[in-house]
Amino acid sequence: MATDSAYGPGKLVERLPVTSGFSAHFARIERRPSFGDVGGAGTERLNLVAETATGLPDPVFYAVPVALLIAGGIVVSMRELWESSTKAHALAGATVAVGYFPLAAIGVLLFETRVGVGDAAFTQSPELSSTLLLVGLAYPLCFGGLGGLLAARLRG
- Angle value at C-alpha 5, between 47 and 45, nearest 5 degrees: 20
pLDDT, tens digit, 9 for 90 and up, residues 118-134: 677 777 778 888 889 98
pLDDT, tens digit, 9 for 90 and up, residues 31-51: 777 665 455 556 666 666 656
pLDDT, tens digit, 9 for 90 and up, residues 20-34: 777 777 777 777 776
Q: Is 125 helix (H, G, I), strand (E, B) or coil?
A: strand
Cα–Cα distance measured from residue 68 to residue 83, given in angstroms and rounded to the nearest whole number:
25
Question: How high is the mean pLDDT of the chain?
Answer: 76
Give me the residue spans of the domains in the chain.
10-155
pLDDT, tens digit, 9 for 90 and up, residues 58-75: 788 788 899 999 999 999
Whole-model pTM: value is: 0.74
Sign of CA dihedral 114, 56, 66, 73: negative
What does each C-alpha distance from 49 to 9, 22, 53 come to in angstroms? 25, 9, 8
